[in-house]
Chain A
Amino acid sequence: MAYSSILDWIQFKDVMSNPFYPFESYNLPFDLSYKIWELLGGLIAWLINLIFPGNGVSVWLMSDEISNVFALVVFMIIIFLVVFVVTLLSLWMERKVLGRVMDRRGTMIGLKGFMQCLADGFKTFLKENTIPRKVDKKTYLWTAALIIGTSALIACMIPLSDRWFVVNYGTGLLIIMALFALAPFFILVSGWAQNNKYSLIGGMRAAELMISYEVPMLIMIASTCLLAGSFNINDIVNMQGDTIWFFIPQIIGFITFIFCATAEAERVPFDIAEAEAELVEGWQTEYAGMKWGLIMLADYLRGYVSCAMVVIMYLGGWLIPFVSGGVNGWFPEIVFLLKVWSVFFIMIILRGALARVRTDQIVNIGWKVFMPLSVANLAVVLLLKLGGVF
Chain B
Amino acid sequence: MMSRDVIDIKAETSELHTDKMWVIMGPQHPFSHGLWTLKARLDGEIVVDAEPIIGYLHRGWEKECENRTYPKIIPMADRLCYAASMTYTHLYCMTVEKALGIDIPEKAKYIRIMADEICRIQSHLMWLAAVGTDLGNLTVFLWAMREREFFMDLNVRMCGARMTTNFPRIGGVRNDIDDEFAMFASRCVERFEKAIWDIIAMIDDSSVFVSRMKGTGILSREQCANLGITGPAMRGTGVDFDVRRDDPYDNYDKMDFEVPVLKEGDSYARYMVRIEELFQSCKIIKQCLQKVKAIGRNAPYRLKVPSKVPAGRAFVRMEDPRGESMMYLISDGTDKPYRLKVRSPIFVNVSAAKPLVLGSRIADVPAVMAMIDMCLGETDR
Contacts and interface: CB of A to CB of B under 8 A. Distances in A.
B9 A361 contact: yes
Q: Which of B139, B361, B363 has the most CB of A within 10 A?
A: B363
A137 interface: no
Contacts of A198: 23
Given A268-B136, A354-B208, A278 B31 contact: yes
Contacts of B23: 197-198, 201
B206 A353 contact: yes
A8 interface: no
A13 interface: no
B228 interface: no
Interface string B42-56: 100100000000000
A184 B220 CA distance: 41
Contacts of B364: 358
B6 A364 contact: yes
Contacts of A277: 30-31, 133-136, 366-367
Contact of A278 (B1, B3, B366): B366
Contacts of A364: 6-7, 9
Contacts of A181: none
A272 B363 contact: yes
A29 B137 CA distance: 41
Contact of A102 (B21, B136, B142): B142
B224 interface: no
Contacts of A278: 25, 31, 362-363, 365-366
A141 interface: no
Interface residues of B, number: 40
Nearest to A252: B1
A357 B210 CA distance: 10
A359 interface: yes
B138 interface: yes
A255 to B, nearest CB: 7
B212 interface: yes
Nearest to B198: A103
A84 B204 CA distance: 39
B300 to A, nearest CB: 43
Interface bin, chain A: 35 or more
A27 B211 CA distance: 50
Interface in A326-383: 352-361, 364-365, 368-369, 373
Interface string B119-132: 00000000000001
A48 B208 CA distance: 68
Contact of B136 (A101, A197, A255, A269): A269
Nearest to B203: A355
Contact of A355 (B21, B206, B361, B365): B206
B143 A369 contact: no
A355 B142 contact: no
Contacts of A280: 29-30
Interface in B194-237: 202, 206, 208-209, 211-212
Contacts of A354: 137, 206, 208-209
Given A201-B45, A357-B208, A365 B7 contact: yes
A271 interface: yes
B16 interface: no
Contact of A201 (B6, B7, B138, B362): B362
Contacts of A101: 139
A255 B1 contact: yes
Contacts of B6: 364-365, 368-369
B63 interface: no
B57 to A, nearest CB: 21
A357 B12 contact: no
B143 A102 contact: yes
A93 interface: no
A271 B138 CA distance: 14
A50 B61 CA distance: 85
B2 interface: yes
B297 interface: no
Contacts of A271: 136
B68 interface: no
Interface string A90-112: 00000000100111100000000
Contacts of B133: 277
Contacts of A359: 45, 361, 363
B21 A197 contact: yes
Contacts of B29: 280
Contacts of B25: 278
A100 B160 CA distance: 31
B1 A358 contact: no
Nearest to B142: A102
A144 interface: no
A369 B139 contact: no
A276 interface: yes
Contacts of A355: 132, 135-137, 206, 208-209, 212
B366 A360 contact: no
Nearest to A357: B208
A275 interface: yes
A356 to B, nearest CB: 3
A201 B209 CA distance: 23
Nearest to B133: A277
Contacts of B45: 201, 204, 359
A349 B346 CA distance: 36
Given A255-B1, A353-B206, A355-B209, A360 B361 contact: yes
The 3 closest A-B pairs by CB, nearest first: A356-B136, A355-B135, A102-B142
23 contacts: A98-B138, A201-B42, A201-B362, A255-B1, A268-B136, A268-B137, A271-B136, A272-B363, A275-B363, A277-B136, A278-B25, A278-B366, A355-B132, A355-B137, A355-B209, A356-B212, A356-B363, A357-B7, A357-B208, A358-B11, A365-B2, A365-B6, A369-B6
